[in-house]
Structure 1
Amino acid sequence: MKFLPIAVLLWFFHMDALCQDYELKKYSQQLRVHHDNDFFVLTDRYYSSGLFISYQKMLSKGIFGSNEQLKFRLGQEVFTPSQTQSTNTDLFDRSYAGFSGLQTTWSLAAQSELFKIQTLFGIAGINSGAGGFQRWYHRAIVISDSPIWIDELSDSFHANLYLSYIREWNISPNPFGINLAIHPQLALGSRDIYTEAETVFHFGRRNIIGESIAFERLGNNSREIYFALRFAYKRVFYNGLIEGNLFGDNSPVLRSTTKNLLKLGFDFNHRFNRNDYRFGVRYNSKETPNSKGHAYIVLSYGFSW
């Protein structure tokens, strides 16, 4: 065990040496597919899955000049109680909830800082299509009993605003770099009201904050290969996919939320020329008084041009 840090260091140098050289370019557009799923950690509850496709582009002339980026992400999220085969809704630790929506992100990078403004508009409930998609997924791909999806959240429209600030410090240079970032976030809207404070450590070869896959930024295709450790505290004031729409909801199953959440994460990231790869694991403590902590896998691939 005492040789583990040395082995990790040697592995990074080995991978860095094996990477084949290619022409350095400044790609300004990217198409990305992202998938979250707890099936890979042998559960099927709470945040069960998420499927997203996004397009992002560097702006040649933004509001404040250069270093601005715009992203559009279309996604669908699936949430279920842990009692997926029960018809007794009194036992549910949360309701069945699906959400489909469009998120827009504007970001501005400085030397060691990143500012983000995000808007989210979408539909929760049966018309989100999430319940039907999960049932099809279990029949056609997983070949297992599907959650029965009774008394799902009623259809409602949601709008949300997210404000983020990231500040980063470089502790050690490449190739085995160490970076520390803090990431406070504020959410306001009918779906989410919360504050979150995250600390992230990056270990390995990485580009600067405004050009790194770490923050889904474009502008530099220099290879990156690193892993990240994430620690976050989230203070929840309202969760519309558990408590119902903030502006009124007649759903048959609504629950109260846990106000204080702990979130942990691990990522492995690799950028090679046009291609961005990410594998990660996420964990959060229980979101309702009667639920449990939950973990899921993150998979992502982006192609730039």
Structure 2
Amino acid sequence: MLNNSILFWSLCIWCVLAPEAIISQGLADNSGPSHQIEFRHDNDFLFLTDRYYSSGLFITYRTLLNKGFLKKGEEQLSFSLSQEVYTPSQTQATNPEVFDIPYAGFSGLTASWSVAKENELISASVLLGVAGPNSGAGGFQRWFHNVVDISESPLWIDELPNSFHANLYFSQIKEWNISSAPLGILFAFKSNLALGTRDIYIEPEGIFYFGKRNELPQSIAYDRIRSVDREIYVGFRFSYRQVFHNGLLEGNLINNNAAFTTPATNSVLRLGLDFNNRFKRSDVKFGIRYNTAESPLAKAHKYIILAYGYRF
């Protein structure tokens, strides 16, 4: 099991580092930043909870393409390593029949392509990953709790078994400038679609932005990395997710041999607050996320997002 985890993470690291050499002929070579490394951490600790989506770690590399697939628009590629931790509320219970969701760990690699035009962005992503003990998520959480010693470590009983996942994600964004002065106000509508063994859903989303923000193809709001112009703004987002399958609650869609699973709630409301600041080559992000119960046995949940990216 340990050897499988080491092999998986070695493959993931190679997949992140190799693309730069493979696609170097297509990278943007004009002035301004054309690469970014970002570190992101999600956690619910500020809300004094340790349940449901308990934490997430993400390391992302982004690069601009000079010779892309389309004639118009600025194209980017990104590669992201991630590890996510999901736990029930009853982290000290030994009987899984009282759990509101199963223990689930997930580690994966996401490759994304996007193109941005004046007021529109289209993106497509492929996620490959493993759920279960081989993800290393449960072991990492237990290690962290033992080292920090701030609370008892979750027991990780009847964790979802090892399984491979593949998923596709698509999104399209349209944006409108409502006001430029004295306070910049923009509104964006985003359509999200997920298909695969981990997630199947559709999710329309609306986002309001207030403050100093660059145009869509140059903005930190959509992880665009070209501009060094200052941005500082607040964003409010709201969405409705129609869920058809959640593999981290219901098990793998194709090969589910989990000892314990829970059904997924079909309708989930999601709210968010963002505070983003871009200065020179640094991007700093702070966010709060809230969602209604994702399982009939669970409750609503909220967590924070912290991220720092450097462009070069």
Q: Same fold (TM over 0.5)?
A: yes
TM-score normalized by structure 2? 0.89
Instruction: Return the offset for 1:125.
Output: 0.2
Q: Distance in 2 between matches of 1:133 and 1:175?
A: 48
Q: Does 1:170 align with 2:190?
A: no
Q: Distance in 1 between matches of 2:159 and 2:105?
A: 8
Aligned to 1:22: none
Look up the SS of the partner of 2:144 in the other structure.
Answer: helix
1:163-205 Cα deviation digits (max 9, x unpaired): 1000000111166210000011110000000000110000000
SS at match of 1:27: coil
Corresponding position of 1:102: 109
Q: Which residue of 2 aligns with 1:271?
A: 278
- 1:175–1:205: 8 Å Cα contact kept in structure 2? no
Does residue 61 of the first structure (1) align with residue 63 of the second (2)? no
4+ runs deviating over 3 angstroms: none
**8 Å CA contact 1:230, 1:265 repeated in 2:** yes
Q: Counterpart in 1 of 2:58?
A: 52
Aligned counterpart, 1:32: 38
Amino acid paired to 2:303 = Y
Partner residue of 1:221?
228
Equivalence for 2:47: 41
2:88 pairs, out of 50, 68, 81, with 81
CA contact (8 A) 1:174 1:205 kept: no
Equivalent of residue 163 in structure 2, options 156, 159, 180: 156
1:145 aligns with 2:152: yes
Q: Percent identity?
A: 56
- 2:136 aligned with 1:129, yes or no? yes
Using the alignment, how far apart are the partners of 1:174 and 1:111 within structure 2? 20
Unaligned runs of 5+ in 2: 1-30
Contact residue 175 and residue 204 of structure 1 kept, 8 A: no
Cα distance, 1:288 vs structure 2: 0.6
Kindly indicate whether the alpha-carbon contact (under 8 Å) linking 1:174 and 1:206 is maintained by their aligned counterparts in 2.
Answer: no
Corresponding position of 1:13:
none
1:164-243 → structure 2 map (5 Å cutoff): 164-173=171-180, 176-243=183-250
Amino acid in structure 2 at the alignment position of 1:270: N
Provide the aligned length of Structure 1 versus Structure 2: 281
Is there any run of 5+ residues in structure 1 with no aligned partner, and where?
Answer: 1-24
Kindly provide the amino acid, as one letter, of the partner of residue 49 in structure 2.
Answer: T
C-alpha displacement of 1:143: 2.8
Letter in 1 for 2:264: T
How much is the aligned-residue C-alpha RMSD, in angstroms? Answer: 1.0
Please tell me whether residue 92 in structure 1 is matched to residue 103 in structure 2.
no
> What's the CA shift for 1:39?
1.1
The code of the aligned residue for 1:279 comes to F
Q: CA deviation at 1:142?
A: 4.8
- Paired residue type of 1:165: Q
Structure 2: which amino acid aligns with 1:217? Answer: R
Report which stretch shifted further, 260-269 or 166-175: 166-175
2:268: which partner in 1?
A: 261
Q: 1:142 to 1:105 in 2, by over 3 A?
A: farther
Give the aligned partner of residue 13 of structure 2. none
